[in-house]
Protein backbone atom coordinates (compact mmCIF):
# COMPACT_ATOMS: atom_id res chain seq x y z
CA UNK A 1 0.00 0.00 0.00
CA UNK A 2 1.65 3.21 -1.17
CA UNK A 3 1.64 6.25 1.06
CA UNK A 4 0.41 9.71 0.14
CA UNK A 5 2.79 12.66 0.48
CA UNK A 6 1.28 15.68 2.23
CA UNK A 7 2.34 19.05 3.64
CA UNK A 8 1.57 20.35 7.12
CA UNK A 9 1.70 24.06 7.95
CA UNK A 10 1.31 25.81 11.28
CA UNK A 11 2.67 29.24 12.21
CA UNK A 12 6.18 29.41 10.71
CA UNK A 13 6.51 25.64 10.39
CA UNK A 14 6.13 23.62 7.18
CA UNK A 15 6.60 19.87 7.42
CA UNK A 16 6.44 17.24 4.71
CA UNK A 17 4.91 13.94 5.78
CA UNK A 18 3.65 10.72 4.27
CA UNK A 19 0.35 9.16 5.27
CA UNK A 20 -0.24 5.46 4.80
CA UNK A 21 -3.75 4.39 5.79
CA UNK A 22 -4.73 0.88 6.77
CA UNK A 23 -7.86 -0.81 8.14
CA UNK A 24 -7.03 -0.84 11.86
CA UNK A 25 -7.91 1.72 14.56
CA UNK A 26 -4.36 2.70 15.54
CA UNK A 27 -2.41 5.80 14.53
CA UNK A 28 1.39 5.56 14.40
CA UNK A 29 3.55 8.69 14.13
CA UNK A 30 7.15 8.08 13.06
CA UNK A 31 10.00 10.52 13.83
CA UNK A 32 13.46 10.10 12.29
CA UNK A 33 16.94 10.92 13.59
CA UNK A 34 19.42 13.70 12.83
CA UNK A 35 20.34 14.14 9.17
CA UNK A 36 17.72 11.66 8.03
CA UNK A 37 14.09 11.89 6.88
CA UNK A 38 10.79 10.04 6.76
CA UNK A 39 12.06 7.84 3.93
CA UNK A 40 13.99 5.72 6.46
CA UNK A 41 10.63 4.54 7.81
CA UNK A 42 8.99 3.80 4.45
CA UNK A 43 9.15 0.01 4.68
CA UNK A 44 8.30 -0.05 8.39
CA UNK A 45 5.28 2.17 7.66
CA UNK A 46 3.97 -0.30 5.08
CA UNK A 47 3.83 -3.06 7.67
CA UNK A 48 2.47 -0.89 10.49
CA UNK A 49 -0.33 0.29 8.18
CA UNK A 50 -1.79 -3.20 8.39
CA UNK A 51 -2.99 -2.14 11.84
CA UNK A 52 -4.00 1.45 11.12
CA UNK A 53 -2.92 4.87 9.96
CA UNK A 54 0.77 5.79 9.75
CA UNK A 55 2.15 9.34 9.60
CA UNK A 56 5.89 9.61 8.91
CA UNK A 57 7.24 13.17 9.17
CA UNK A 58 10.25 15.09 7.94
CA UNK A 59 11.28 17.26 10.88
CA UNK A 60 11.86 20.96 10.09
CA UNK A 61 15.15 21.38 8.24
CA UNK A 62 15.42 17.70 7.28
CA UNK A 63 14.31 15.66 4.29
CA UNK A 64 11.80 17.67 2.27
CA UNK A 65 10.89 20.07 5.10
CA UNK A 66 12.41 23.57 4.89
CA UNK A 67 14.24 25.19 7.77
CA UNK A 68 11.84 27.38 9.77
CA UNK A 69 14.24 30.34 9.82
CA UNK A 70 15.34 30.11 13.44
CA UNK A 71 17.00 27.56 15.68
CA UNK A 72 14.79 25.22 17.68
CA UNK A 73 15.71 23.03 20.63
CA UNK A 74 14.56 19.45 20.88
CA UNK A 75 11.98 20.55 23.43
CA UNK A 76 10.62 23.09 20.94
CA UNK A 77 10.65 20.48 18.18
CA UNK A 78 8.63 18.18 20.46
CA UNK A 79 6.01 20.94 20.73
CA UNK A 80 5.91 21.09 16.92
CA UNK A 81 5.16 17.37 16.86
CA UNK A 82 2.45 17.79 19.48
CA UNK A 83 0.87 20.56 17.38
CA UNK A 84 1.00 18.21 14.40
CA UNK A 85 -0.78 15.55 16.46
CA UNK A 86 -3.48 17.98 17.54
CA UNK A 87 -4.17 18.98 13.94
CA UNK A 88 -3.64 15.73 12.06
CA UNK A 89 -4.08 12.87 14.54
CA UNK A 90 -6.74 13.53 17.19
CA UNK A 91 -6.75 10.98 19.99
CA UNK A 92 -3.76 9.22 21.60
CA UNK A 93 -1.19 7.84 19.17
CA UNK A 94 1.72 5.42 19.10
CA UNK A 95 4.82 7.63 18.88
CA UNK A 96 7.89 5.99 17.33
CA UNK A 97 11.30 7.68 17.33
CA UNK A 98 14.69 6.66 16.01
CA UNK A 99 17.99 8.06 17.35
CA UNK A 100 17.48 11.84 17.83
CA UNK A 101 13.81 11.14 17.19
CA UNK A 102 13.68 9.23 20.48
CA UNK A 103 14.58 12.40 22.36
CA UNK A 104 11.80 14.30 20.59
CA UNK A 105 9.05 11.72 21.07
CA UNK A 106 10.10 11.19 24.70
CA UNK A 107 9.77 14.94 25.30
CA UNK A 108 6.32 14.88 23.70
CA UNK A 109 5.20 12.03 25.96
CA UNK A 110 6.72 13.71 29.00
CA UNK A 111 5.04 17.05 28.34
CA UNK A 112 1.73 15.78 26.92
CA UNK A 113 1.04 12.27 28.24
CA UNK A 114 -2.61 12.48 27.21
CA UNK A 115 -1.55 12.61 23.55
CA UNK A 116 0.51 9.39 23.60
CA UNK A 117 -0.92 5.90 24.07
CA UNK A 118 2.41 4.12 23.60
CA UNK A 119 6.02 5.03 22.95
CA UNK A 120 8.72 3.26 20.94
CA UNK A 121 12.37 4.33 21.31
CA UNK A 122 14.67 2.84 18.67
CA UNK A 123 18.38 3.43 19.43
CA UNK A 124 17.86 6.17 22.05
CA UNK A 125 20.45 8.95 22.17
CA UNK A 126 22.61 10.57 23.51
CA UNK A 127 24.70 8.27 25.70
CA UNK A 128 25.49 10.42 28.74
CA UNK A 129 28.85 8.66 29.10
CA UNK A 130 29.99 9.96 25.68
CA UNK A 131 28.25 13.31 25.36
CA UNK A 132 30.62 15.05 22.93
CA UNK A 133 30.30 15.64 19.19
CA UNK A 134 33.65 13.96 18.52
CA UNK A 135 32.81 10.77 20.40
CA UNK A 136 29.37 10.54 18.83
CA UNK A 137 30.83 11.01 15.33
CA UNK A 138 33.47 8.34 15.89
CA UNK A 139 30.86 5.91 17.14
CA UNK A 140 28.67 6.55 14.08
CA UNK A 141 31.58 5.95 11.70
CA UNK A 142 32.43 2.68 13.47
CA UNK A 143 28.78 1.62 13.38
CA UNK A 144 28.53 2.21 9.62
CA UNK A 145 31.62 0.11 8.95
CA UNK A 146 30.45 -3.01 7.18
CA UNK A 147 26.94 -1.73 6.41
CA UNK A 148 25.55 -2.52 2.98
CA UNK A 149 24.98 -0.04 0.13
CA UNK A 150 21.29 0.44 0.99
CA UNK A 151 22.09 1.97 4.37
CA UNK A 152 25.07 3.98 3.14
CA UNK A 153 23.47 5.41 0.00
CA UNK A 154 20.20 6.30 1.67
CA UNK A 155 22.06 7.94 4.52
CA UNK A 156 24.22 9.99 2.15
CA UNK A 157 21.18 11.06 0.12
CA UNK A 158 19.30 12.27 3.19
CA UNK A 159 22.32 13.98 4.76
CA UNK A 160 22.86 15.89 1.50
CA UNK A 161 19.44 17.53 1.93
CA UNK A 162 20.38 19.07 5.29
CA UNK A 163 22.36 22.30 5.49
CA UNK A 164 25.58 21.95 7.53
CA UNK A 165 24.64 24.85 9.81
CA UNK A 166 21.22 23.35 10.61
CA UNK A 167 22.83 19.96 11.24
CA UNK A 168 25.41 21.42 13.63
CA UNK A 169 22.74 23.36 15.52
CA UNK A 170 20.62 20.23 15.93
CA UNK A 171 23.63 18.22 17.04
CA UNK A 172 24.32 20.84 19.70
CA UNK A 173 20.74 20.61 20.93
CA UNK A 174 20.98 16.79 20.90
CA UNK A 175 24.04 16.93 23.12
CA UNK A 176 22.40 19.45 25.45
CA UNK A 177 19.27 17.35 25.90
CA UNK A 178 19.13 14.96 28.88
CA UNK A 179 16.91 12.02 28.00
CA UNK A 180 17.84 10.20 31.19
CA UNK A 181 16.42 13.02 33.32
CA UNK A 182 12.92 12.98 31.83
CA UNK A 183 12.50 9.19 31.58
CA UNK A 184 11.38 8.70 35.21
CA UNK A 185 8.53 11.13 34.54
CA UNK A 186 7.20 9.28 31.49
CA UNK A 187 4.41 6.91 32.54
CA UNK A 188 3.56 5.93 28.97
CA UNK A 189 4.06 2.22 28.14
CA UNK A 190 7.34 2.13 26.23
CA UNK A 191 9.22 -0.32 24.02
CA UNK A 192 12.98 0.30 23.86
CA UNK A 193 14.78 -1.28 20.89
CA UNK A 194 18.51 -1.61 20.34
CA UNK A 195 20.51 -3.23 17.54
CA UNK A 196 22.81 -5.84 19.05
CA UNK A 197 25.87 -4.33 17.33
CA UNK A 198 24.89 -0.65 17.76
CA UNK A 199 28.10 1.22 18.63
CA UNK A 200 26.33 4.57 18.97
CA UNK A 201 24.05 3.32 21.73
CA UNK A 202 25.86 0.76 23.93
CA UNK A 203 23.85 -1.85 25.80
CA UNK A 204 24.65 -0.32 29.20
CA UNK A 205 23.26 3.06 28.16
CA UNK A 206 20.11 1.69 26.55
CA UNK A 207 19.50 -0.53 29.57
CA UNK A 208 19.83 2.54 31.79
CA UNK A 209 17.15 4.33 29.76
CA UNK A 210 14.81 1.33 29.84
CA UNK A 211 15.25 0.95 33.59
CA UNK A 212 14.56 4.65 34.16
CA UNK A 213 11.19 4.44 32.41
CA UNK A 214 8.40 3.34 34.78
CA UNK A 215 6.66 1.11 32.18
CA UNK A 216 9.25 -0.09 29.68
CA UNK A 217 10.63 -3.23 28.20
CA UNK A 218 13.83 -3.54 26.20
CA UNK A 219 14.55 -5.80 23.25
CA UNK A 220 17.79 -6.26 21.31
CA UNK A 221 17.71 -7.01 17.59
CA UNK A 222 20.27 -9.61 16.61
CA UNK A 223 22.84 -8.63 14.00
CA UNK A 224 21.69 -5.02 13.66
CA UNK A 225 23.44 -1.72 14.30
CA UNK A 226 22.24 1.84 14.82
CA UNK A 227 20.37 2.01 11.50
CA UNK A 228 18.29 -1.10 12.15
CA UNK A 229 15.17 0.39 10.54
CA UNK A 230 16.92 1.12 7.24
CA UNK A 231 18.52 -2.27 6.63
CA UNK A 232 15.09 -3.92 6.51
CA UNK A 233 11.70 -3.29 8.13
CA UNK A 234 11.81 -6.52 10.08
CA UNK A 235 11.90 -7.39 12.86
CA UNK A 236 11.35 -3.77 13.99
CA UNK A 237 7.83 -3.50 12.56
CA UNK A 238 6.66 -6.82 14.02
CA UNK A 239 8.16 -6.00 17.42
CA UNK A 240 6.22 -2.72 17.46
CA UNK A 241 2.96 -4.43 16.51
CA UNK A 242 3.46 -7.18 19.09
CA UNK A 243 4.17 -4.57 21.76
CA UNK A 244 1.04 -2.56 20.97
CA UNK A 245 -1.12 -5.67 20.74
CA UNK A 246 0.00 -6.71 24.24
CA UNK A 247 -1.14 -3.42 25.79
CA UNK A 248 -4.45 -3.28 27.66
CA UNK A 249 -7.22 -2.32 25.27
CA UNK A 250 -7.72 1.02 27.02
CA UNK A 251 -4.12 1.93 26.20
CA UNK A 252 -4.61 1.06 22.53
CA UNK A 253 -7.48 3.45 21.98
CA UNK A 254 -5.67 5.70 19.50
CA UNK A 255 -8.15 6.38 16.71
CA UNK A 256 -8.29 8.47 13.60
Domain encompassing residue 166: 4-245
DSSP for 203-243? HHHHHHHHHHSTTEEEEEETT--TTHHHH-STTHHHHHHHH
Q: Is there a domain that residue 251 lies in? A: no
Domain count, the chain: 1
Q: Is there a domain that residue 255 lies in? A: no
- Residue 216 scores a pLDDT above 60: yes
Please write the tens of the pLDDT for every residue from 113-144.
999 999 999 999 998 988 877 777 767 666 66
Angle of helix 133-144 relative to helix 149-160, nearest 10 degrees? 140
| CATH code for the domain of 29 | 3.40.50.1820
The pTM assigned to this predicted structure is 0.90
Q: Is there a domain that residue 16 lies in? A: yes
Q: Is there a domain that residue 171 lies in? A: yes
Q: Is there a domain that residue 250 lies in? A: no
Q: Is there a domain that residue 129 lies in? A: yes
Rounded-to-integer distance, Cα 156 and Cα 20, Å: 25
Q: Which pLDDT does position 256 carry in this prediction?
A: 36
- Residue 250 scores a pLDDT above 60: no
Q: Is there a domain that residue 27 lies in? A: yes
- Residue 183 scores a pLDDT above 50: yes
Q: Is there a domain that residue 200 lies in? A: yes
Please write the tens of the pLDDT for every residue from 18-39.
999 888 788 999 999 988 899 9
Amino acid sequence: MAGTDRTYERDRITMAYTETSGPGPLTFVLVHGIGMGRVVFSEVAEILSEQGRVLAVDLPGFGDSPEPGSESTLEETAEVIVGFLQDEAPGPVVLVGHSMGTQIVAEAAYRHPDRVAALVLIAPTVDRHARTATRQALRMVRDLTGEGPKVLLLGLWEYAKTSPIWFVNKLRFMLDHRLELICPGIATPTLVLRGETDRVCPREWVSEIAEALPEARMTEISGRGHEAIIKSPEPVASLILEFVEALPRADRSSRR
